[in-house]
A and B are shown apart, each in its own frame.
Chain A
Amino acid sequence: MLTLLRRYGTLIGFAAILLFFWISLPETFMTARNWLNISQQMSMLIVVAAGMTIVMVMGDFDLSVGSMASLAGIVAAVLLTLDYPIWVAISLALLLGLAGGAINGALIAYVGILPFVATLATLTMLSGAAFVVSGGKTISGRAIPEEFGNFARGGIPLGEWGGVAVSLPNLTVVALVVVVLVWVLLEQTTFGRRLYAIGGNIEAAHLSGVAVRKLKLIAFALTGGTAALAGIMYASRVASANPTQGSGLMLNAIAAVFLGSTLSEHGEPRLLYTILGVLVLGVLDNGLTQLSVDSYIRQILVGGIIILAVSTSSLTKGLRSR
């Protein structure tokens, strides 16, 4: 019973939330359109949370993903206003993410700074840089080519549903591709296995021939890359960029990984569970918005649910080991 609660508590809670919204919003909630909408709203968070899972597998985390997303969006937008082709703007912004992540990794793995301190410092720097590059303004308007914004608005047509045409949003497709890539990386490659080894026991991993420092650097670089991608996706979605638009991503990504790890058998971060965690957050956000619950109340509820999920899991774990 307790094991069931520990293992499936979050799932049961999720099911209860779904049921509640379904009953409260019989017309709109359980529709294909709404779910595709949720998937689009969540696509940026999915990408960042997938990247966050990579470093959290090693027992580290990256606080700078939000400001990296903001900066990458700004840089892409500024390059577009300077008439660079879209592919150049996107590539450079992605490269910036990889490089920034690699700097995080170097500070943590080679200089030996704690992830909390190192990424808190880069969070501040990246956020400052986003303001400097943008001049503190939102970059939008005619300077940004229409194709850039149209990408996020477009999708793959899926047919009709109740007389309305529905399509799979392009941003959702991007998020799915990232999930598949990160899943293969973490679950099917020697790289992922070694990251889990580092997370389990860094000294034993080192003595077993795992190149701990190099792998940490690569892992943080990838996390930075996913943050930048999310920033670009966001900029495309609103066809503009402002220096604070990524700020909510970091806490939500970490929350999703924690929520997800309460579902995994041994309490470790696993990508597919992280995605479930994102889904929980996304459904809550979507349902509460539709019920016109105030966004500040929403924050309180989301925080409470995270505490509930993680404490159910850790309390029942404590009881079992007694």
Chain B
Amino acid sequence: MTFLSLKNVTKAYGSVPALRGVDLSVAAGEIHALMGENGAGKSTLIKILAGVVAPDTAEISTEGRRVEIGSPRRAHRLGFRFIHQEFNVVPALSVAENIFMGRRYPMRGGMFVDWRKLNEAARETLEKLGISHINPAQALGSLSLGDQMLVRISSAFIGEEGGPARLYVLDEPTAALTRSESERLFTVLRELRANGASVLYVSHRLDEVMDICDMATVMRDGRSVDTGRIADITHDDLVALMIGRRVEEAYPPAQAVPRDETVLSARDIPIRDGQPISLDVHAGEVLGIAGIANAGQRNLLRTIFGDLPSAKPMMLGGKSYRPRSPADAWRAGIGYIPRERRSEGLIVSRPIFENTTLPHLASQSRWRTMLRPRREKQLAEAQGRLVRLKASSANQRVRELSGGNQQKVVFAKALAGKPRLLLLDEPTRGVDVGAKFDIYSIIRDMTAQGMAVILVSSDLPELLGMADRIAVMRDGAIADIVPAAGLTEDRLLNLTYGRVAGN
């Protein structure tokens, strides 16, 4: 039985159409995937469902009755619940307070919050997700990002005032979750489905979608292009539908073998919150770094990049290297793609060319001081072509670009100084399939020219597809370094959890 039906939804922002005609139908007791590249219109559609954005035209009905959504309040009353990419939380408040935010707190004597009852209710909510390791009285900000997301998710599952929840809309819920955390979420989603609720699930992770969803609707350029049963469609078909052409291989083949020449050599370098680390990266090599969340990957990269102090010098290109700041690292020929592109990688209010040249500004300027914008724009345009950036001009503000193209600007910036070592922290997170392939191709091109790459990723197929060797981090130490060839996903996963020995 159809719970939610949308017909001919259109929406334009000014003269720019975001939705040109979307049909979507979600049955009760179904997990329905909404797929499409960044910019296909998924977010706009979800905002319309949430009552935040008003459509230009739309026929929306629930259980066969025509409805107008109009406001977030109305959406809530219709039984719609939303879990967004960006979470609205207050880090200084406790887990329980965040879960029950916007809802009535249990009271005592009509005046005082019954904290014990509140914490108890929060504990029960969390347990529904199989979460027992989070203390409801703890400040939310003290939790890991993954745990914070779990708390956020759990708060959407509370049965409550204003009618029962009928449809859960999840937008990239697993972006910050580890595999086991994601698994727990999936268990809950299956439970909800068994109870007759509908789930609209947005994710770039195809494996997840293939695993837990029943149906999929694919959007492209503001239209719904196809709807079908997941069981009837292959991974490759889905990708082809999303990007409108077939992609032969998920990972472009390596063009050359790594050379013997060592680019970076670290020996017993102490890492904050971790143990001393030794590793070598060679010219033309991709060294993958695997590990569960917070196993020390980020601090390792930040130490090499000079953002965290290094107690001992490393060797870079045969010379002693001990950076005291990111500026030192850029100067020494290291490029860095940080994990959070909007908060760490980009200045979205500034033009593409200013972002591209920022680390290399002195070398682009006269007497290292006076700006030469024309030259900067030429460099930015050349770099933009290299990374297959789609933008109207080098003057365009980064804010106006899609997620995949924003990430390409981060690459353009890192590569503009022709680095000999590139540090990548989750370079394809939240990036659509087409842009992902472009990014992998860029990495291949760069290694073919002799650049060394360190790739931190929680996406195991990505590590297996791109890396030559994989260093497995556990508890702030490198536990194993193994060749990627012949390694399976299962074995790599077991290594990250320390269930088997390397070699």
A residues adjacent to B (C-beta < 8 A): 188-194, 196-197, 200-201, 203-211, 266, 268, 322
Q: Are B347 and A200 in contact (CB under 8 A)?
A: yes
Q: Can you report 9 A-B residue pairs in the complex whose CB atoms are below 8 A from each other? A: A189-B365, A190-B369, A190-B370, A197-B350, A200-B348, A204-B338, A204-B347, A207-B338, A207-B345
Q: Are A193 and B344 in contact (CB under 8 A)?
A: no
Chain B residue contacts of A190, Cβ below 8 A: 361-362, 365, 368-371
A246 to chain B, nearest CB (A): 32
Apart from A188-B370, A197-B347, A204-B345, what 9 extra A-B contacts exist at CB < 8 Å?
A: A189-B365, A192-B371, A197-B350, A201-B348, A204-B343, A204-B346, A205-B347, A209-B326, A209-B358
B307 in contact (CB, < 8 A): yes
Chain B residue contacts of A208, Cβ below 8 A: 326, 330, 358-359, 413
Chain A residue contacts of B8, Cβ below 8 A: none
Closest partner residue, chain B, to A184 (CB atom): B370
Chain A residue contacts of B358, Cβ below 8 A: 193-194, 197, 205, 208-210
Chain A residue contacts of B413, Cβ below 8 A: 208
Chain A residue contacts of B338, Cβ below 8 A: 204, 207
B344 to chain A, nearest CB (A): 5
Closest partner residue, chain A, to B413 (CB atom): A208
Chain B residue contacts of A191, Cβ below 8 A: 369
Provide the bound-state CA to CA distance between A62 and B92, in Å: 29
Q: Are A266 and B369 in contact (CB under 8 A)?
A: no
Provide the bound-state CA to CA distance between A188 and B327, in Å: 21
Provide the bound-state CA to CA distance between A204 and B338, in Å: 9
Q: Are B359 and A196 in contact (CB under 8 A)?
A: no
Interface string of B315-351 (1 = CB under 8 A from A): 0000000000111011100001010000111111110
B354 in contact (CB, < 8 A): yes
Interface string of B175-211 (1 = CB under 8 A from A): 0000000000000000000000000000000000000
Chain B residue contacts of A194, Cβ below 8 A: 358, 361
B residues adjacent to A (C-beta < 8 A): 53, 305, 307, 325-327, 329-331, 336, 338, 343-350, 354, 358-359, 361-362, 365, 368-371, 397, 413
Q: Are B347 and A209 in contact (CB under 8 A)?
A: no
Provide the bound-state CA to CA distance between A207 and B339, in Å: 12
Provide the bound-state CA to CA distance between A211 and B307, in Å: 12
Provide the bound-state CA to CA distance between A266 and B348, in Å: 12
Chain B residue contacts of A205, Cβ below 8 A: 347, 358
Closest partner residue, chain A, to B360 (CB atom): A209
Q: Are A266 and B349 in contact (CB under 8 A)?
A: yes
Q: Are A204 and B344 in contact (CB under 8 A)?
A: yes
Chain B residue contacts of A268, Cβ below 8 A: 349
Closest partner residue, chain B, to A265 (CB atom): B397
8 Å CB contact of B330 from A188, A197, A201, A209: A209
Among A194, A206, A209, A210, residue most surrounded by chain B Cβ atoms (within 10 Å): A209
Chain A residue contacts of B361, Cβ below 8 A: 190, 193-194
Q: Are B344 and A207 in contact (CB under 8 A)?
A: yes
Closest partner residue, chain A, to B350 (CB atom): A200
Closest partner residue, chain A, to B349 (CB atom): A200
Q: Do A209 and B327 form a contact, CB below 8 Å, given A194-B361, A197-B347, A204-B347? A: yes
Provide the bound-state CA to CA distance between A221 and B338, in Å: 32
A266 to chain B, nearest CB (A): 6
Q: Are A266 and B397 in contact (CB under 8 A)?
A: yes
Q: Are A189 and B370 in contact (CB under 8 A)?
A: yes
A227 to chain B, nearest CB (A): 25
Q: Are B347 and A211 in contact (CB under 8 A)?
A: no
